[in-house]
Structure 1
Amino acid sequence: MPRLFTGIEIPAEIADRLALLRGGLQGARWIDAENYHVTLRFVGDIDERTADEIADALDRVRRTEFMLQLDGLDVFGSSKPHALVARVAGSRALAELQAEHERIMQRIGLPPEGRRFTPHVTLARLRGVGPREAAHYLGTRGHFLTQPFPVTRFVLFSSKASTGGGPYLVEQSYPLDEAA
């Protein structure tokens, strides 16, 4: 039974810059740079028939390439931080692609995603990190910014059931149409 999700890969040069942020936060379990991504829709553990149905439905998505930018660091869980993330700057094209993935999954019969879409790249899972330590880390490194980078495809990832952080495998990739 595969565990699936859709996402956008982070270019190697940006992943390398993100990896330089590792360290300096006791209780952080850092994600390997090759596993950095922006999740579009978490699917979860599903049977092979549903996995095939998802892969086929995603093949019918027709969207145009677009640009993304990372614009700072943040933590999820203000009173009890649980993840260190790089924020993704607002993007209408990204929001529309994510919404289409959500509609596809619901048409297939999966329940709606329970959380609001907050585009990000998870850098570390946090355990035992207090708000003060998180604020100090963000105060010294939080102004991280990248140049916009092109998004030319999205992918269907699989992962092993774990506490998160990979390894993630690209099961199928879906190119976006070239911008006119």
Structure 2
Amino acid sequence: MPRLFTGIEIPPEIGLALSACRGGLPGARWIDPENYHLTLRFIGDVDGRMADDVCSILGDSRWREPIAVTLDGLDTFGGGKPRAVFVRVSGNGQLTDLQAEQERMMRQIGLAPETRKFTPHVTLARLKNVSPIDVADYMAVRGHFPKLTFTADRFVLYSSRASVGGGPYIIEAAYPFG
């Protein structure tokens, strides 16, 4: 049973730049640069028939134009109990619209609605039992983050198998824009 999600790939040169943020945070599980991505819609564990339906309906996407993506700073999820370090994506209406289209498609084939608010980001590390003080120190040291921009010309359907998060991710299908 595959675990599926849609996303935007991070180009290798951007992944290399992001990898400079690795390290310096005790207890963090750093994502390998080749597994960096921007999740659009988490689908979850599905059976083969649903996986086929997902793959098929995504082919009906009407998205036609490349999307400029700007990564503009480090942040964390979890507030006082941080659980991830990520890179923010600047306000991008195109990503929000693409994600909304995919959300409608997934509901159309019977999947439950996504309950989390869409926050475009690239996860760099997952945190478990990491001191909030260590996270604050890490963020203070890494405070300056140069903007990185790339153009996405497709989205992909990823799968992951028997993992605790962070990859490896496999591209099951690609859906070019235009």
Which category of TM-score, normalised to the shorter sequence, fits these structures?
A: over 0.9
**Do the aligned residues in 2 keep the contact of 1:6 with 1:154 (CA within 8 Å)?**
yes
Q: Secondary structure at the match of 1:148?
A: strand
Quote the residue 2:126 is aligned against: 125
AA in 2 matched with 1:54? V
Quote the residue 1:106 is aligned against: 107
Structure 1 ranges of 4+ moved more than 6 A: none
- 1:39, 1:11 → 2: CA distance? 14
> Structure 2-normalised TM-score?
0.96
Alignment of 1:115 onto 2:116: yes
- 2:154, 2:143 → 1: CA distance? 28
Deviation at 1:145, TM superposition (A): 2.8
- 2:83, 2:148 → 1: CA distance? 27
**Do the aligned residues in 2 keep the contact of 1:28 with 1:125 (CA within 8 Å)?**
yes
Deviation at 1:18, TM superposition (A): 0.7
AA in 1 matched with 2:94? A
Deviation at 1:4, TM superposition (A): 0.4
Task: Render the CA deviation track for 1:22-72: whole Å, top value 9, x for unaligned.
Answer: 110001010000000000001111011111111111111121111001010
Alignment of 1:89-168 (within 5 A): 89-168=90-169
Deviation at 1:78, TM superposition (A): 1.1
Q: Secondary structure at the match of 2:148?
A: coil
> Structure 1-normalised TM-score?
0.95
Question: Which stretch has the larger CA shift, 130-139 or 140-149?
Answer: 140-149
Alignment of 1:16 onto 2:16: yes
- 1:87, 1:161 → 2: CA distance? 27
- 1:24, 1:101 → 2: CA distance? 36
Alignment of 1:174 onto 2:148: no
State the identity %.
58
- 1:103, 1:145 → 2: CA distance? 34
- 1:3, 1:125 → 2: CA distance? 18
Deviation at 1:161, TM superposition (A): 3.1
- 1:68, 1:106 → 2: CA distance? 26
Deviation at 1:128, TM superposition (A): 2.0
Q: Secondary structure at the match of 1:115?
A: coil
**Do the aligned residues in 2 keep the contact of 1:153 with 1:176 (CA within 8 Å)?**
yes
Provide structure 2 residue ranges, at least 5 long, that are not aligned to the other structure: none
Quote the residue 1:58 is aligned against: 58
Provide structure 1 residue ranges, at least 5 long, that are not aligned to the other structure: none
Deviation at 1:99, TM superposition (A): 0.5
CA RMSD of aligned residues (A): 1.0
Number of paired residues? Answer: 177
- 1:131, 1:168 → 2: CA distance? 29
- 2:94, 2:76 → 1: CA distance? 24
AA in 1 matched with 2:74? L
**Do the aligned residues in 2 keep the contact of 1:73 with 1:144 (CA within 8 Å)?**
yes
